[in-house]
Structure 1
Amino acid sequence: MGATIVIAGSPAAADGGGYWAKQCDYGRACLYLSGLRSGPGGPIWNIDGCGWHAVNDHYDAGLTHGNSMTVYYRDNRWDIVDAWTGRSLDPANVVTTVFVSC
Structure 2
Amino acid sequence: MRPISRFTAWATTLATAVGAMVVLAGSPASANGGYWSISCDSPNACLRLSLGRQGPGGPFWNMTGCGVYGINDFHDRGYANGRAFDVHYADQRWDRVEAWTSRGLDPNNRVTGVTVLC
TM-score, shorter chain, exceeding 0.5: yes
Tell me how many residue pairs correspond in the alignment.
Answer: 92
1:12 Cα offset (Å): 1.2
Residues 20-71 of structure 1: per-residue CA shift (max 9 Å, x gap): 0000001000000001110010000001200100011000000011110000
Matched, 1:24 2:46: no
Query: TM-score, normalising length from structure 2?
Result: 0.76
Greater strand content: 1
Greater helix content: 2
Stretches of 4+ moved more than 3 A in 1?
A: none
**Pick aligned residue for 2:27 from 13, 21, 42:** 13
Matched, 1:98 2:101: no
Matched residue of 1:35: which SS?
helix
The answer for unaligned runs of 5 or more in structure 2 is 1-24
Computing the radius of gyration from Cα coordinates, the structure with the larger value is: 2
Structure 2 counterparts to residues 55-74 of structure 1, below 5 A:
55-74=71-90
**Pick aligned residue for 1:80 from 96, 101, 107:** 96
The answer for unaligned runs of 5 or more in structure 1 is 1-10
Structure number with the bigger relative contact order (C-alpha 8 A, sep ≥ 6) is: 1
The one-letter amino acid of 2:78's match is G
Matched residue of 1:96: which SS?
strand
The one-letter amino acid of 1:36's match is G
Matched residue of 1:67: which SS?
coil
